[in-house]
Amino acid sequence: MRGRVTARAPVKASDTLHFALRAATAYPLRTTLMMLAMAIGVAAVVVLTALGEGARRYVINEFSALGSNLVIVLPGRSQTGGFSPINAITNTPRDLTLEDAQALARLPMVKRTAPIAVGTSEAVWRGRLRDVTIVGTTPDYARMRRLEIAQGRFLPEEAPHAAVAVIGAKLQSELFGAEPAVGQILRLGDRRVRVVGVLAPFGQGLGMNVDEIVIIPAAVAQAMFNSNTLFRILIEASEREALGAAKTAAEALLKMRHDGEEDVTVITQDAVLTTFDRILSALTYGVAAIAAVSLAVAGILVMNVMLVAVTQRTAEIGLLKALGAESRTIRRAFLAEAALLSLVGAVAGFLLGEMGAWALRSFLPMLPAQAPIWAIVASLFTALATGLTFGMLPARRAAQLDPVTALMRH
């Protein structure tokens, strides 16, 4: 007999909402529990995605510290697809040399290059001794890495073989204390260098703490380590658009210089950034999904609580039917109640989550924890959808109650 064509249920939406609101506020404990479950779910999504997004931004900031239009050359081939045993035996990779760096600098789309030789040694001044990382490079390095000089100057352009050094801020305070470092003679291993400059505090960058390094001319470093090879060559393209061309040209040039062997790896900073970005975004999605599980749990709680509500209010449902409420009116009233509780719970959870993200930012200032908009929208939407979905069964059960039996229950 059901399903005949009838007029729209005449109850106004505002009345349904008001009725649901009165019902929700009439059972404060039940309402609070349900909203709490929803709030925890949404807060979990907000905090966890904020954390993931914070980590992503942290890594990207670290890479941006490298400077933008950079191409990095590494010795050895790490990106070739095929590996043949014959290659492994015969292919002895040639070193990256200072001459390679100079040749690269002459390429048309290259603005400048900086060779990097890295080693460790001990630095001694007036009996104070400290193990340090030594970076051998050229004056362009400061411009490419955007290093700032606090005292003195950077490596001199005019004397690539001078025994001079520029030291990090932390090293300066640890080794020299309050005394001026510029002009002092520092012993590095068995060599003596004159300190010509001190870097401004910089912090961590690409796996090195710049505050604790000693920068000396590349030629001096190679002589010190008794090695011709370079750790990296940094290439700065003339503009961002030339990055790809610079990379291709660098690869071709080095292949030619290395007797036709592709024995270096050339990467752009973009590629590194994109990879990290992808990994960390995936991580953020992952934790969002895990947090969403708690939303599903909240949904099941919503269903249980609403089922209890239907049982509690059976007589009331019977009465509404006797007063002429159609099934859909009752279904809507219960759905509205579930939606209302979910939505208020979700908004509370959003505020809670934002507070959590704020606390994270306060305690870990380096980590810019901020939930992405998509996560906030998705969690609010999911909460509402969950409430409605899990509210469906109780609402339908209420709507289908037989009025005579329902009225006898009180």
Partner 1 sequence: MALIELVGVCRRFRLGESEVMALADVDLAIDAGEYVSIMGPSGSGKSTLLNILGLLDRPTAGSYRLAGKDTTTLGEDEQAQIRRQTIGFVFQSFHLVPRLSAFENIALPLALAGVPADERKARVEAALAAFGLSERAHHRPDQLSGGQRQRVAIARATIMRPAVILADEPTGNLDSATGADVVRLLESLNAQGVTLIMVTHDPALGQRARRRIRMQDGRKIGDEVR
Site string for partner 1, 378-407 (x = CB under 8 A): -------------------------xx--x
* CB nearer partner 1, residue 244 or residue 403: 403
323 binds partner 1 (CB under 8 A): yes
319 binds partner 1 (CB under 8 A): yes
Angle at 374 between CA 354 and CA 44, to 5 degrees: 40
User: Among residues 324, 363, 365, 373, which is the contact residue for partner 1, using CB under 8 A?
Assistant: 324
17 binds partner 1 (CB under 8 A): no
Binding to partner 1 (CB under 8 A) within 121-180 occurs at none
19 binds partner 1 (CB under 8 A): yes
User: Among residues 188, 320, 371, 398, which is the contact residue for partner 1, using CB under 8 A?
Assistant: 320
Question: In the complex, what is the shortest distance from the CB of residue 352 to partner 1, in angstroms, rounded to a whole number?
Answer: 28
336 binds partner 1 (CB under 8 A): no
48 binds partner 1 (CB under 8 A): no
Dihedrals φ, ψ of 121, to 5°? -160, 180
* CB nearer partner 1, residue 15 or residue 99: 15
Cβ partners under 8 Å of residue 386, min gap 6: 38, 295, 296, 298, 299, 302, 342
85 binds partner 1 (CB under 8 A): no
* CB nearer partner 1, residue 51 or residue 335: 335
4 binds partner 1 (CB under 8 A): yes
326 binds partner 1 (CB under 8 A): yes
User: Among residues 290, 322, 359, 377, which is the contact residue for partner 1, using CB under 8 A?
Assistant: 322
d(CA 25, CA 20): 9
Question: In the complex, what is the shortest distance from the CB of residue 341 to partner 1, in angstroms, rounded to a whole number?
Answer: 16
User: Among residues 2, 92, 226, 362, which is the contact residue for partner 1, using CB under 8 A?
Assistant: 2
* CB nearer partner 1, residue 6 or residue 78: 6
User: Among residues 23, 123, 164, 166, which is the contact residue for partner 1, using CB under 8 A?
Assistant: 23
Query: Site residues (CB under 8 A) for partner 1?
Result: 1-4, 6-7, 9-12, 15, 19, 22-23, 25-26, 315-316, 318-329, 403-404, 407, 410
